[in-house]
Amino acid sequence: MQEPTRIIAIRHGETDWNVQGRIQGHQDVELNATGLRQARRLAQALRRETVGCIYSSDLQRALQTAQALAQTTGAPLVTEPRLRERSFGRYEGLRFMQVQTEAPEHARRWRERDPHYAPEGGENLSALRQRIAATVDELAARHAGEQIVLVAHGGVMDMLYRLATRQHLQAARTWQLPNAAVNRLLWNPGTGLTLVGWADTGHLAADSRDEQHD
């Protein structure tokens, strides 16, 4: 019987668009100063972890976060475009309030998490769930008995939580998706993901002395 795979799932560090409330999607936004600091602290917190491989979305905000981890753990880093955020098509770069004003019916379906709603040129939640489930199954199966890290985005973290807890796509979110938090899951062949721990941000709470003024 194949051994389970341990997974550490990480949402990228903060970006200016996070602060501004802009919809990022597939836009290649880099980390801001806070995000870079979060990535360093995350890397220090996980430096003693044994990691078989780090898989990262190819978008810069995730890749910069993953590179910090790779430097401290020594684990190989592989870019995986299937770990990208959900595509929001023509609404990328806007704030949700702007979508509400421009297209209230679209905003309603988005807010209600309609599984079949896709912004023009974007991706619906059903497709996102299928993409993430298939990607995790494939990557985890490569590393039976090992631990891997997945560095991705808020929408991906949300989907991993739903997959692990068997929650419906339209279930109200009662869990947090903090930037640079440590989320732990277990993957077993046949049964998929289970939740081990979620949204650990202890490593971000206290400034280290050498970073207080950066």
Q: Binding site for substrate: what residues are annotated?
A: 11-18, 61
Tell me which of 12, 26, 143, 203 is the catalytic residue.
12
Residues in binding site: 11-18, 61
Tell me which of 3, 26, 49, 85 is the catalytic residue.
85
Active site residue 85: yes
Distance CA 43, CA 56 (A): 14
Is the distance from CB of 163 to CB of 156 less than 8 angstroms? no
Active site residue 211: no
Q: At what angle do helices 33-45 and 60-73 cross, to 10 degrees?
A: 30
The identity of residue 168, as a single letter, is H
Using CA atoms, how far residue 98 sits from 12, 88, 106, 122, in Å, is: 25, 14, 11, 17
The identity of residue 100, as a single letter, is Q
Active-site positions read: 12, 85
